Amino acid sequence: MRTGRAVLLLLALFASTHAAAAAVVSIADARSQPVGTVVTVEGSVTVPSGDFASSTFDQGFGLQDATAGVYVSTSDNPNLNFNRRVRVTGEVADDGFGVLILRPASLADVETLPGASLVTSTPEATGAIGEATEGLLVEVTGTVTRPVGNDLPFGYSVFVDDGSGEVQIFIAASTGVNPFTIPFIAVGERITAVGQSGQFQTQFEVLPRFRGDLHVAVP
């Protein structure tokens, strides 16, 4: 009798704990939790899975809701494209380079939801890219201040400044975009770049996802 009661109590405790872990919170709330906390969030894919593999060394993807954005790090590719609705349960973690990420235990913790939802980029000053924008899909416009940097096999660096402060546009080699072949990416030219706001050590950056994220600035 006591054994049966103990089993029931354990089952109830497990169910309660599981339900609490599965409760969906906003991405902003998830980002405010201590490293090591397990959270469940929902959002739309802003960076296709595997797009940044050459610089993140994983097959992860960008996710954003109405409150914030975050990079979700996965070892295997969940084959997620732009705007897919996804629910993720994972651990809040630091990627080792200064970026707060979400790390699911396995692809079983990445659930595709019905429908799709378009996320549009938020215009930001080049000098405003920092901790406050990390994980968000942003858009910056500025003058190219340095020659294109070759950081292969990881990617390429382009620096722009709109007068508020210089920021790096880091183009992961795995996107297939080569700025050396884009004529308007040259010192003195004004360009617009869309991408996920990120960080590498002390360098804040914007990471474009495909060729269309880079274009001549509209006068």
Residue-wise pLDDT for 139-154, tens only, equals: 999 999 999 999 999 9
Q: Which pLDDT belongs to residue 22? A: 67
Q: What are the residue ranges spanned by the domains of the chain?
A: 22-116, 122-216
Region for residue 115 given its phi and psi (left: phi exceeds 0; alpha: psi -120 to 50; beta: otherwise): left
pLDDT at residue 29 in the model = 98
| Entry pTM | 0.88
CATH homologous superfamily of 122-216 equals: Nucleic acid-binding proteins (2.40.50.140)
In angstroms, what is the C-alpha Rg of the chain?
Answer: 20
How many C-alpha atoms does 99 have within 13 Å on its Cβ side?
27
Q: What confidence tens digit (pLDDT) does each residue in 154-164 have?
A: 999 999 999 99
Query: How many Å apart are CA 131 and CA 99, to the nearest integer?
Result: 9
Superfamily grouping for domain 22-116: Bacterial OB-fold (2.40.50.200)
pLDDT at 219: 82
| Mean pLDDT per 10-residue section of the chain, whose length is 219 residues | 40 42 89 97 98 97 98 98 97 95 98 94 98 98 98 98 98 98 98 97 97 95
Give the residues across from 103 on adjacent strands. 91
Q: What pLDDT, on the 0 to 100 scale, is given for residue 113?
A: 97
Q: For residues 87 and 44, is the Cβ–Cβ distance under 8 A?
A: no
> What per-residue confidence (pLDDT) applies to 21?
45
Name the β-bridge partners of 39: 90
* C-alpha dist (Å) from residue 33 to 16, 26, 28, 62, 92: 20, 11, 9, 19, 7
